[in-house]
């Protein structure tokens, strides 16, 4: 069993060069052997583990809660990137923070005051992220970026894995990248949905630096090799 990460280890992982961070999403993992699945991608350089929390209200599906995050915290030293696709996410920040999350990402569409929501996450000593759906206009999202550690652009409609990368996503990624660079923000730019070697390269060219991939890694016969191929594609691209 791997010991939980120290604050020093978490800080070192965040300080890596901001290119090609690959974050396997456990939504597509084999839960009968979750420890082995996590270890297999950790060995080949996964940067974070992405945990999709769904409540069957904000999105159609129902998935995980703090109990799973707590179990994962005992299994790995990788930072846990917890994506709250739920209504009223602020009610649950403390539960996920206590369970061992390192990053908490809330949806623009689920919070009344995104800047305050991000401050509440950071006040708990966690990295704060804000996600936006494909159909949501960007101006309100861009206004909140100064409070973000992670800007997450959804490249599918949130709610289920295995969807295809939506056309037009590059334009939205580029708009967020432009805002981050213009204001000199200390913020990762992640993409989530339909990410595989080809679409990851497209997203990277638009300005993404962090890539969440589930089915294209855990849905293959060899997840470590799939992760390595994704990284090779990004390096070539």
Catalytic entry in 47, 102, 149, 192: 192
Q: Looking at the domain 7-236, which fold is it?
A: TIM Barrel (3.20.20)
pLDDT at 2: 40
- Ordered by start, the domain boundaries in the chain are 7-236
Please name the residues in contact with 58: beta carbons below 8 A apart, sequence gap of 6 or more: 85, 86, 87, 107, 109, 110, 158
pLDDT value of position 15: 52
Digitized pLDDT (tens) for each residue of the chain, 237 residues in all: 344 445 554 554 555 555 799 999 999 999 999 999 999 999 999 999 999 999 999 998 999 999 999 999 999 999 999 999 999 999 999 999 999 999 999 999 999 999 999 999 999 999 999 999 999 999 999 999 999 999 999 999 987 767 899 999 999 999 999 999 999 999 999 999 999 999 999 999 999 999 999 999 999 999 999 999 999 999 998
For the beta sheet containing 210-213, the strands, ordered from the edge strand earlier in sequence to the opposite edge, are 21-24, 210-213, 188-192, 150-154, 127-132, 103-107, 80-85, 49-54
What's the pLDDT at 11? 52
Structural contact between residues 49 and 72, judged by C-beta atoms closer than 8 angstroms: yes
Which residues have a Cβ under 8 Å from the Cβ of 194 and sit 6 or more positions away? 155, 156, 163, 164, 165, 166
H-helix or E-strand spanning residue 24: strand 21-24
**What's the rounded Cα separation, in Å, for the pair 20 and 91?**
33
Is 102 annotated as catalytic? no
Name the catalytic one among 52, 81, 102, 209. 52
**pLDDT score of 128:** 98
Active-site residue flag, 30: no
Instruction: Give the pTM.
Output: 0.91
pLDDT, residue 86, reads: 96
């Amino acid at each position: 069993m791997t010991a939980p990460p120290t604050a020093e280890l978490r800080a070192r992982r965040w300080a890596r060069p901001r290119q090609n961070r690959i974050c396997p999403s456990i939504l597509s993992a084999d839960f009968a052997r979750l420890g082995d699945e996590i270890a297999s991608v950790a060995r080949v350089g996964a940067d974070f583990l992405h945990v999709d929390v769904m409540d069957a209200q904000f999105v159609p599906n129902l998935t995980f809660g703090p109990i799973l995050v707590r179990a994962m915290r005992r299994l790995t030293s990788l930072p846990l990137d917890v994506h709250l696709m739920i209504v009223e996410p602020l009610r649950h920040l403390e539960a996920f923070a206590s369970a061992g999350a390192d990053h908490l990402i809330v949806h623009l569409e689920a919070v009344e005051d995104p800047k305050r929501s991000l401050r509440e996450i950071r006040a708990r000593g966690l990295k704060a992220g804000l996600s936006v759906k494909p159909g949501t206009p960007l101006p309100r999202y861009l206004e909140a970026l100064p409070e973000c550690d992670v800007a997450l652009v959804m490249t599918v409609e949130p709610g289920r894995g295995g969807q295809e990368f939506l056309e037009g996503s590059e334009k939205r990624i580029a708009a967020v990248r432009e805002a981050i660079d213009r204001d000199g923000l200390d913020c990762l730019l992640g993409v989530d949905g339909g990410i595989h070697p080809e679409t990851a390269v497209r997203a990277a060219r638009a300005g993404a630096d962090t890539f969440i991939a589930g089915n294209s890694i855990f849905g293959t016969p060899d997840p470590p090799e799939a992760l390595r191929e994704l990284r090779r594609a990004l390096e070539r691209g």
